[in-house]
Structures are given as structure tokens and as C-alpha cells.
Structure 1
């Protein structure tokens, strides 16, 4: 049983299985007390009991469906009111492999709410206390399809592009105030995500990473100070170069006149 001094309280959403459950295990072993958030109360309580027994940490199951406004509001209130919270892992999300021709638009709207709105509201709920304290960590789980947008469902990919862009903005706004922001971009990972998304076969594909390897790599990236962690990308220089090119392009957008390639007369 662990006797480490407490690192504070880590809140992990989507914690009952897969990536979230591994984060819960690893953070408890690092000395964090936990608030574990998920819809499946039975799994949540079993995980909380196991981790409390194995690590000696305080582990609270918090049953909530973050796709529901009332449940989301309850968790937001907890984040605002609990001064002991030092980390938020925004892991809850859903996906799809359906094209625009076959996907149900109401299901796509629900995906946007969970993957974007809930993540944003939870971040806004916890950030003021972190800024006031001058410390805290927010880990947002994006996806490689946030960059490689054509690989899966377009709404899912766009939602993960949002998480990546949101992370860049948070880093700009909060880094000098002591708040750490890490955006994690998993590739295909062997979790129930694929069952829900409608493509269970992906869990056993040769390119699919285990949730354990994914989280261990992500936490190693956090320890190394990475702002964006892509565990499956073998050469870090590929990301560094791509990101440098993206940032260099920004100043070149600001022109009062259209490009000559459009053939417009300029006065």
C-alpha cells in the first residue's frame, strides 16, 4: 500500500474503463487522491475500491453522464468548490466511424456536446482556482485525427481538432500563471471506444496501442514538459517541424489585399 504524501486531488473523467481507468491507476500510484467520473456506477465503484485498497489513496466515485447538462453542472460545481483539486484529466468522449451520409445528426450533436462543450466547461470551472494558486495541471485527451482529419468521422475529427486548438490557446493564456496544459493525441487505442464507434475490429489491429502504453507514454511526456504528446509518433522532430511551420504561417495571413493569383485589380 502506498504511503506517499498527497499530490492533491486528480479528477479523471471517463474513468470507469480504458484510458481513464489507466490514468486513475497511475495517478493514484503517483500519490494523487482521486475523483473518478463516469456513467457506469458499478464499474466506477469497483475501480475506486480496488485503487483505494492498493494505494491507500482516497478515491471517490462520482457517477455522472457528462452528456447531460444537469450532471455536467454538478461536476462543474465540484471543480469550482474543491480547493484540493490539483489536476483535471478531460478524457470522457465518444466517437464514430460513420460518414455524413449514414451518421445520425442528433448523435453528432451529442458528440459535440460531450467532446467539446463538456470539456470546455470543466476546464473553465477548474482554471480560476489553478490560476489563483499559481499551480495545477489540465490534461486534455485529443486524437491524432484532430490532425489527420480524413481518417474517421468528420464530426469526431473536428471535435478533436478543437481540443488541440483549445490546448494551444490555454497554454498561451495560462503557462505564465503556473498552470500546466498538456494535450494528448492518441492514435488507435485498444479500448471500448471502438465498440461504441461501430468498429470493434480496430481493437486488435496491428497499429493499435494498448491503453496502458498510451497512458504511460503520456505521463512520461508530461514529466518531460511536453505541451503536446503523441505517443505513436516515432520521431518527435516530425511534430516539432510541423508545428513550427504552422506557427510561421500565421503572420502571412494578414494582408489588406487579396493575392495576385485571384486576378483582381488593385488600386
Structure 2
């Protein structure tokens, strides 16, 4: 029996998820692969079993469908072999907010936030009780940048970062590691699905480089890993500025700038 924890990966049929599957299989972990496309999952599982001699289960599921999401959550709650969750499934849409349909917005928000938080919630209590395990949530640098004009997608990724940071503070004392990974533009199918020509982008990171950097952060137990960030001091400075801002908030006092008497109407 494999002494290493099994790893459940969502969005595992291609791109970042499939590369995570390869890397964890290479490390000797058994896998549970989750995505909508069963045929692609089966093909990937066969390759990984043959190449690395690990056990690979396939769980085809559309995480925007409540019953299929519930089935994956149940697997996370009940399968004590699973000690690592890679919350990778996600979607994006290009175009202005006012041009997007309610159905499109609901689909992105459901997959990028509701499914992610429900899967984390399914496994976290068991990991906390065991005193070990890890949850990796794939966010995006877009969640830091409303200027990038991907309002709904960026908002969902800001949620992922906040959730991950909060969970890290809560669960780290109980032995559970939580990592937020924030890619920038990466060569995956998400661009084509969102209506963006990837060849129109000035610079794109290759998936293997992204995942290998994310795993370096995982091994170092970084709470937040931003593979394309060249100077980590900038992240530390932003965190310090945020803490300073919080320290300047006086909960029972209105700031003086809001107490200035209004000029009389002329």
C-alpha cells in the first residue's frame, strides 16, 4: 500500500491540472483525476499508470452541476487516502461585464468560487483532524488587478486568494498547509474557451514551468506562490502596506477627512 497521500486534482484533463498529475505521479503519489471529459481523463490515467506505476482513479464530473459536485465532495470527505487537494478547475470569459450574459457569469462564479470552496470544505475537517495534508487553490494575478478588464474572472480569483489566506491562518496551526498559486498568462486551453487568441498575448508562460515553480513553493510551504513575480520583495511590501492600513483603521472613529464641514451652497 502506498504510504504517500493520494492527490485529487480538478480540471485534470489538460493544462495545469494534467501537469500537476504528472508531477505528483512522478513523486509516487496515487491520484484521483476529476474533469468533465472522461475519455481524456482515461487516456491520461493510462499514461500515468504505465509511466510511474501508481494507482489512478478517474472521476468524471462537471463541477457546475450540483449533483456531480456533491459526488466529488463526498469522495474527499470519505476517502481517507486523499491527503492533498489541487483545486485547479476554472473558467474565464473575455469581454465587458455589461456584454456578458447572466448564464455566463453564473457559470464562471459557480466553477471558480462555489465549487472550489465546497471541495475545500469537504476535505478540510478531515485533514485538520488528522493533523496533516494540503489544499492548493489555483488563483490568478488577475485577482490583484482590476485594471486587466476581466472583472468577473478577476473577482473570482480575488476570492480564491482571500479564501486561501484565511484558510492558511486557520488551518496551519492544525498541521494543514494551504497554498494559493497565482499564475499570469499560461499556455492552456482556458484562453481559447474564453474567446482570446493566445497568440495575441505578448508573453505566455509554459505550463510545465508554471507547475514546477508552484511545486517549488509547495515544497517550501509558501502560503502564496506567484511564479511570474520576479522580485518577491514586492509581495512582502504589499502585505506590509496592507497590515499598516489595517492598523490605521479606528473602528469607533470616523476619519477626520469625512468630518470637514461642507461648503454652503451658493
- Note if 1:69 corresponds to 2:66: yes
Aligned length: 261
Of the three residues 227, 236, 239, the one matched with 1:243 is 239
Match of 2:192 in 1: 195
The correspondence of residues 107-146 of structure 1 with structure 2, limited to 5 A, is 107-146=104-143
Specify whether residues 61 and 152 from structure 1 end up closer, same or farther in structure 2 by C-alpha distance, changes over 3 A only.
Answer: farther
Tell me the residue number matched to 2:264: none
Check conservation: 1:146, 1:159, Cα contact below 8 A. yes
Unpaired segments of 5 or more residues in structure 2? 262-266
For the 8 Å contact 2:2–2:30, the answer to whether it is kept is no
Q: Residue 5 of structure 2 corresponds to which residue in structure 1?
A: 8
What residue in structure 1 maps to residue 206 of structure 2? 210
The structural deviation recorded for 1:264 is 4.8
Q: Distance in 1 between matches of 2:150 and 2:102?
A: 12
**After superposition, what is the alpha-carbon deviation per residue over 1:146-186, rounded to whole angstroms, capped at 9, x for unaligned?**
10122142111000000000011001100010000000000
Residues 23-49 of structure 1 show CA distances to partners (whole Å, capped at 9, x for unaligned) of 000010111100000001110000000
Matched, 1:24 2:42: no
Map 1:33-44; keep pairs closer than 5 Å.
33-44=30-41
Q: TM-score, normalised by structure 2?
A: 0.95
Per the alignment, in what secondary structure is the counterpart of residue 96 of structure 2?
Answer: coil
Deviation at 1:6, TM superposition (A): 4.0
CA contact (8 A) 1:186 1:214 kept: yes
Unaligned runs of 5+ in 1: none
Cα offsets for 1:64-93 (capped at 9, x unmatched)? 000100100000111100011110000001
Q: CA deviation at 1:106?
A: 1.5
The aligned residue for residue 177 of structure 1 is: 174
Q: Report the counterpart of residue 260 of structure 1 in structure 2.
A: 256
Contact 1:6 1:33 in 2 (8 A): no
Q: Does 1:47 align with 2:15?
A: no
Offset at residue 98 of structure 1 (A): 1.4
Shift of 1:224: 1.6
Distance (whole Å) between structure 2 residues aligned to residue 244 and residue 174 of structure 1: 22
**Match among 213, 216, 219 for residue 215 of structure 2:** 219
Paired position in structure 1 for 2:225: 229
**Contact kept in structure 2, 1:87 and 1:136, CA below 8 Å:** yes
* d(CA) in 2 for partners of 1:205, 1:102: 22
Deviation at 1:208, TM superposition (A): 0.6
The SS at the match of 2:161 is: helix
CA RMSD of aligned residues (A): 1.4
Are residues 1:93 and 2:116 paired? no
Q: 1:39 and 1:65, CA in 2 relative to 1: closer, same or farther beyond 3 A?
A: same
